[in-house]
Structure 1
Amino acid sequence: MSQDLPARMLRLLSLLQTRRTWTGDELADRLGVTLRTIRRDIDRLRGLGYPVQGTTGTAGGYRLTSGADVPPLLLDDDEAVAIAVALRTATRGVARIEETAVRALAKLEQVLPVRLRHQVTTIQAAAAPLPVPWGTGPTADPTVLATLAAACRDHEIVTFTYRTSGGETGPRRVEPHALVAADPVWYFVAHDIDRDGWRLFRVDRLTDPAPTGHRVTPRELPNPDAATYVAARLAAAPARYTFHATVPADAETVRARTWSLPGRVQPVDDHTSTLDLAADNPHHIAEQLLGIDLGPDDTIHGTLELAPHLEQLGKRLLRAANALTRQDDQSKQRDGPDARHGP
């Protein structure tokens, strides 16, 4: 019996990590032991530093909570590989995480079995990040992200202070739905209780998040998923500069070459699309246009104030092209007409 005890406790710990709350009877049934044995194993886990809390209610139960120290975590193979890959990429848009990720990765890889270490290396070699040209911006606090993620997981109402784009600051009380990373900005999708509607919050403008302990039934999002909702909201947001054009290419190609949100590119037919760009920074639009050929002049419309910025970028590129041409001419004059053919 004593030889089976460590394995049973590991299974018990694994169960506690997969769900917020378990009743004692559920745990006993899963492990094939008595309720008394479950209570004894729970006490032993607590003695090892695992913060297992007893819950009140009709049947009572147990849940793994946060403690003063970090006890060992039990990970299956897939979870260990996923965490190692995420640490190697050192999540963009999260403040102060790069150095911490390196330290955590070193600890994890030290204990990974060789077969899993090989999987991590293989995945990392095949997955190259492709940041957008303007992939710098405000970073989110990892503690804030963790609090919001837990609230999303537990469907628990959360409160926080939010600063709008106009600079107004005030309290919010929301039903959380999901976090979306739109490199490099993190967005929090939630249903605002006081305003009775879905809202999109930038995490870098959000402070002092606090779970309330009140859990709710998840609402149905008005889009297929959170990422689609964020993309639609961002595409519909007003901006200082706009640019519209008909492009002689299919929608998928245009979307890929301009790094556009799905709603910004619409197909006309198999070989033509409409492009609708908007940004507060004119250089963003200019850089997006570099990857495509535009259609007829009469299909191009937009903010007049954008024209000087596009012209400026065009002049810079033309100057660079002229410099390369002059360099080639000078090289030919220096080497002579027969230099390419050798003696």
Structure 2
Amino acid sequence: MPKTSARLLALLSLLQARRDWPGTLLADRLDISLRTVRRDVDRLRELGYPIAAIKGPDGGYRLSAGTELPPLLFDDEQAVALTIALQVAATTSGDTLAEAAVRALNTIRQVMPSRLRHRVEALRITAVERPTTRPAAPVDGDVLLAISAAVHARETLRFDYGPESTDTPPRRVEPHHVITWDGRWYLIAFDLDRNDWRTFRVDRIALRTPNGPRFTPREIPGGDVAAYAIGKFRGSDDAGGWPCQGTVILDLPAATVALYTRDGIVEEAGPGRCRLTLGSWSWPSLAATIARYDADIDVVGPTELTDAFAHLARRFTRIN
């Protein structure tokens, strides 16, 4: 990076870190002269940053609010927190805001350093249905990332849970999946002490460190996280009451597909891909519903869904 550009970025980072900066302090922090500080401030103003001069014995500068949004700089923790917030917004907001969140998320991911991208991509979000208007429960971003990293690394977690945590031993679980439902974050895990599957609210989890040993993943009841989650939250063992239900892999990001999925499960399946589980009243209807996403499709199952796609393909080729 050219020396001048690097200096401008450093100056902008300092101006964003606190409200007022004496000119002499800026010059000292950047190891440049006051004259160079003034020139660099003028350059930033030309780029659209509203930097006001502060009157006083030493003079100084302040980054103020402007009429347009200029480019911004974020430190590592801010970038991670912003990415998590955008993923939440993409799956829990109305269509207009959610679409804007997806665009912003793609923009940030394109320029995010690999060390941060790896942290964020460990966060596997499953959007279970479209959320209601209930406000989302606040979740610590570091906790969410730590849980997701343990899911990805297949490491046992230990944590205190809920108000009873001070009077009981820590829970020991094998984390399986992080999901969202009705504005809240949940961890689906196998509880080692209770020898059964459990669903935990992430906002009630207080992690203990270090993590436990690595484990071999167990098969979730029914073999499908989508069906299991829907059955748990709806208080039944069925997956929503549809006579036909299938799962596919779409060549679209999960955050994008979640915008248009009101009664189904969307899971991350790698960069730019997602796993979609939906139900319908017939197999051709289900295939047609999935086809509306306008993306390449790999059918996971069942075979009835594959046959329905073939049936529709033959029908459509006969159209003149």
Structure-1-length-normalised TM-score: 0.36
Larger-Rg structure:
1
Higher RCO, 1 or 2 (CA under 8 Å, sep at least 6)?
A: 2
- Structure 2-normalised TM-score? 0.39
